[in-house]
Structure 1
């Protein structure tokens, strides 16, 4: 009897628990993994537990005993410091964690200090492990997978807590040891570390005065000597200030740059001037040189013709042509004027390349100096950055990013102008954000439509101003936070480099974002706001003396349980019938035709394909109107009544709706036919050959191979067809078979929907009726419709494997 069978034969769960406590963890995990939960007990079994019941017991045992030998189970360092209390809670031994920091070097403290990177890494590991567990799950191991999921969740939860605890300890150690971390993660101590504070400040002030004095003395020196002396002057203070050390190294790098620049100038400028003079002199005789070149080319052409006459094969002629072409190029390049010009241009190009190379080396060295050395950033600057960092340019100014500060200060007028517009200054006929309060009700000469639209525009502007100010504040705050621990702020050249590379997509997206704001957001927000107003007949701000007011949720109350509730039920019922029927019929008919045409036994496939795509080739609005005229004619209705006893194809509810469904099926199946034809042609014939060998019938091939593959590919189209048909206003409007619908009492519904009106066409009626138009109710219906469409689409896409892939 193996262990699994032994556990199953035990009488109680407690007995199983007692036996499991004697097992090594590695053996327990192996047995749990091998346990098949779908396997049933043999007949007349003496087992107390089934495999599934035993798996459930093992999972419960694993959860209850997670604290035993935790390190072996979790394989994480934090497990050594995690203990279980008497009340079944897990807590960390803070003293033990603090003790682990003893005798650790600065690099270890720095690693523990990087909380953001550690949390991101733990999240990545957690997500990757979750995906592995998800892929591992089967019907036979659901409890084992639940156990692995429990371990992963437990590990992630307490690992985050451990990271937080160690970060706080590391932060305290950083302050105690007075550590700084440069941008490149080098560890330093502040300059006053292990020094007498009073003496250090006195000496630093004295050095500072000396540096200022000596810098004033070298103002009139030549650039190279000045850079050299600057480096030497700042060298005196490298034991007192990292900024002086950076300044010294920067000056040294500048000296190197200027010396090399001088060398490049001396190597090229004289040569370039001489080459230019030579070119000018030779150009005076350009005509003679060109004539000489022309004579040589003529002679070369004659020689080529002579050689071509003696060539016998195509390959010989081809080789002669290539040689002749190359010979002409060489003759032209031997022209003295061209040679002189090319020499001059090449020297200028090489000069430019060397200068750029020298500049790049200098910039790179400056950035390395900045990234390698830390900065001692006082607390008061960090406080100022947090308090005033929301003002564009102030944060960079405090943090020493002067060029960035100037650029941001230049944007301040834009903030002022757009901010003023948002509060009504400069509006055409509105009052900015304030105009949304009462839509200009207190202004008898005002037009509420301007108050609405300019209020929405002001709302969008105010939103982007808030986003910009918040981003500016966050940038200033984060820079100050990084500088506080030693990392220097990015230079303007680094910012420019980022914008030229990674920033290009953002810059190019700005016009599109502005377009989206005004083309998409303004209409959407307008619709939402109008839905909460009484905008309509009698409350039309476009008419003298009429104003619109906020009515809250009254319009929605009218739809759900109020005046328009019967109309809503009537229209939404037909809308869903229309959408489901047309979506299914279009896909079924298109698929059926594609399967028929794709059949190998069918002859004349091209003709049938042409016939099936004709409805797609002819403009839909023409065909809709043709069918509307045909079906509304007295002759046609008389004919159908005589033969099938049915008439009123455009006046009776049932007939008109059936006609619309059939018409939409006819118009839409061609598109689906083409798509599914492409899918069918992409299915490998090897699948069908293999299934035939295995004895599968044509029906099984259709149901087990063809249809599953088609459904996988066209599943997103189901949602697309649903959305399209939900808003298919064109066919309802153009067909025109839309007499007024009547309720059970023979009275028209509120809003007077027609017998074929779907939600979108009913909204059109509500907003265009000359005597009873009501934009507020219409906008409310649009919002309801949008929620249905978006909710259904999102849910459908979320569940579709094709969309996930």
Structure 2
């Protein structure tokens, strides 16, 4: 005799058939449990399916029709609403599929146990076992459902729009929206205006991300190592001063810089460039100058966090290693190269990667400084627009929702691939995987 589970025992092997339990569970939820003589559980499963079909059956049918056709009568059918109903129907079907999977799995598992001689515990003990096993799931289920409807559903909607022709000229309810497959992506890479704009904006987005982020990391690293030097006095005061830009809200700083670099009345031109060099630099009207200023502002905004991050990590590096390096005759550069930098990167690599992905979608500074301008001939995006600010303009200025969704999908893929690849390459990620 052996014990299985809580207060359950094996007796002689019976002729109970797990296949019958599986088939009955597939036919209707709970039938397999009833076959296993687990009556309370079987009734609960069956009642859940009945309530689900009564409550959502008609809505799911309508939703599937809606997402398939996106409407048939212009002025009557609203394609966007039908798309939303269809996506909700798909989510409900997914919930039902998961429920059915566990229903079948439970029936087959218990049928096999019964066949091997398992005797079910009494009702009170069954309820206690059920509570012990499902308690974590009962606590996390509300949050999981909220995540589905607050994150997954909007993401599904955005992805779906990328494969439609939803724009100003195909706007319901006056007009119907149609599925167009990969047509939007094709236009983005083949049609002259869209191709030129995409290449220009994408190139600047990569340059902006790499240069601005690298500058802020480099400056933060340099200042952190410099202040951490034993010869530097008043470290607390210096660190406080260097972190001050972080204390000011970013949007306030951006607006102040926008005023300072204004071509007409900004302090940079009127108080510095004209008196000293007798020139007026077109900071806001020439894309090259505007891009340089944006990189400078982002470096100013971003370095305090990197400085604080590196300063904290530097405190954790043992002084014994530096003393051992001194005994071996290592130079300052060799100690930085072989002791300081590896430890800093090991501890902060994931956060540094996040800095790159954040700046890739750094909408605030681009839009607040000059709204992505100045305008560029032959493009439907500004000279300093990055992909995310271009998406904003397509959505709210020109109502080209489908193309905005297509570009958003590309952004998501780029950021996801980059982040996953870099995380897997970092030493911290590899070390964690070996724990």
TM-score normalised by the chain length of structure 1: 0.51
Aligned pair in 2 of structure 1 residues 573, 642: CA closer, same or farther (>3 Å)?
farther
1:760 counterpart = 2:388: yes
1:713 to 341, 344, 347: 347
How far did 1:489 drift? Answer: 5.2
In structure 2, C-alpha distance between the alignment counterparts of 1:641 and 1:524, rounded to whole Å: 50
Contact 2:357 2:415 in 1 (8 A): yes
Shift in Å, 1:690 = 1.7
Alignment-derived partner of residue 773 in structure 1: 399
Q: Report which of the two structures shows the higher radius of gyration computed on alpha carbons.
A: 1
Aligned counterpart for 1:561 among listed residues 170, 183, 190: 190
1:637 aligns with 2:272: no
CA distance in structure 1 between the partners assigned to 2:273 and 2:13 by the alignment: 92
Q: What SS does structure 2 have at the residue aligned with 1:579?
A: helix
Match in the other structure for 1:322: none
Q: 1:715 to 1:400 in 2, by over 3 A?
A: same
In structure 1, the residue matched to 2:421 is 795
| Alpha-carbon offset, residue 419 of structure 1 | 3.5
Mapped to 2, the partners of 1:558 and 1:470 lie a distance apart of: 42
Q: Partner residue of 2:14?
A: 376
Q: Are residue 570 (structure 1) and residue 200 (structure 2) matched?
A: yes
Which residue does the alignment assign to 2:359?
A: 725
Correspondence for 2:22 among 365, 386, 397: 386
Q: CA deviation at 1:566?
A: 1.4
**CA distance in 1 between partners of 2:280 and 2:319 (Å):** 48
- Work out the CA distance in 1 between the residues paired with 2:124 and 2:360: 53
Q: Structure 1 residues 775, 396: closer, same or farther in 2, change over 3 A? A: same
Change beyond 3 A, Cα 1:643–1:465? same
The answer to whether the 8 A contact 1:418-1:461 is kept is no
Counterpart Cα distance in 2 of 1:729 and 1:525: 22
**How is 1:155-174 mapped onto 2 (pairs within 5 angstroms)?**
none
| Aligned position for 1:464 | 95
* Alpha-carbon distance change, 603 to 740 in structure 1, aligned in 2, over 3 angstroms: closer
Please point out which of 293, 297, 305 is paired with 1:663: 297
User: What is the CA–CA distance in structure 2 between the aligned matches of 1:786 and 1:699, rounded to whole Å?
Assistant: 39
| Equivalent of 1:528 in 133, 156, 159 | 159
The whole-number CA distance in structure 1 between the counterparts of 2:122 and 2:352 is 53
1:183–1:488 contact (8 Å) kept in structure 2: no
Change (3 A) 1:777 1:489: farther
CA deviation profile, 1:379-427 (whole Å, cap 9, x unmatched) = 4xx3431221122221111011122123223323332134315425xxx
Inter-partner Cα distance in structure 1 for 2:190 and 2:285 = 29
**Unaligned 5+ residue runs, structure 1?**
1-181, 186-363, 425-430
Q: Give the whole-Å Cα distance in 1 for the aligned partners of 2:74 and 2:38.
A: 49
Q: Which whole-Å CA distance do the structure 2 matches of 1:738 and 1:446 have between them?
A: 37
Higher relative contact order (CA 8 A, sep 6+): 2
Q: 1:549 aligns with which of 164, 173, 178?
A: 178
Q: In structure 2, what is the equivalent of residue 611 of structure 1?
A: 241
Do structure 1's residue 702 and structure 2's residue 333 form an aligned pair? no
Aligned match of 1:685 in 303, 310, 319?
Answer: 319
Q: Deviations over 1:671-697 (max 9, x none)?
A: 111110000011111111222122222
Q: 1:168-247 maps to which residues of 2 (within 5 A)?
A: 184=3
SS of equivalent residue, structure 1 residue 520: helix
Native 8 Å contact 2:261 2:269 kept in 1: yes
- Aligned mate of 2:50, from 402, 407, 413: 413
Secondary structure of residue in 2 paired with 1:372: coil
* Separation of aligned partners in 2, 1:439 and 1:549: 7
Q: Which runs of 5+ in 2 are unaligned?
A: none
Q: 1:722 offset after TM fit, Å?
A: 1.2
Using the alignment, how far apart are the partners of 1:527 and 1:800 within structure 2?
31
Q: CA deviation at 1:647?
A: 0.3
Three-state SS of the structure 2 residue aligned to 1:602 is coil
